[in-house]
């Protein structure tokens, strides 16, 4: 599996988990103290998420990092 494909899967897992928990992008952005635009971009392309923010997203979604990144 290519690196880009892996990042797409990570992005999709984050998005689906957020939707499942009925959390808006606006709420996530507020919790992360970033703009909605930045959060949206991060969610679309996990490759661009700073590592510290990635862990914070996982924590907010109560989503183990191992599950997010597993292939």
Q: What is the DSSP string of 19-65?
A: HHTT--HHHHHHHHTS-HHHHHHHHH-GGGS-HHHHHHHHHHTT--H
- Which CATH number belongs to the domain containing residue 12 in this structure? 1.10.260.40
Report pLDDT digits (tens) over 15-57: 999 999 999 999 999 999 999 999 999 999 999 899 999 999 9
As a whole number of angstroms, the distance between CA 3 and CA 16 comes to 20
Q: Which of 44, 8, 10, 6 is nearest to 25 (CA)?
A: 44
Report pLDDT digits (tens) over 43-54: 999 998 999 999
Q: How many domains does the chain have?
A: 1
* Confidence class for position 5, pLDDT limits 50, 70, 90: confident
pLDDT at 67: 94
Domain that holds residue 20: 3-69
């Amino acid at each position: 599996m290519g690196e880009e494909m892996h990042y797409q899967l990570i992005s999709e897992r984050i998005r689906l988990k957020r939707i499942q928990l009925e959390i808006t992008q606006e709420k996530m952005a507020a919790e992360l103290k970033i703009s909605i635009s930045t959060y949206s971009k991060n969610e679309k392309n996990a490759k661009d998420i700073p590592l510290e923010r990635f862990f914070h997203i996982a924590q907010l979604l109560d989503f183990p990092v191992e599950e997010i990144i597993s292939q």
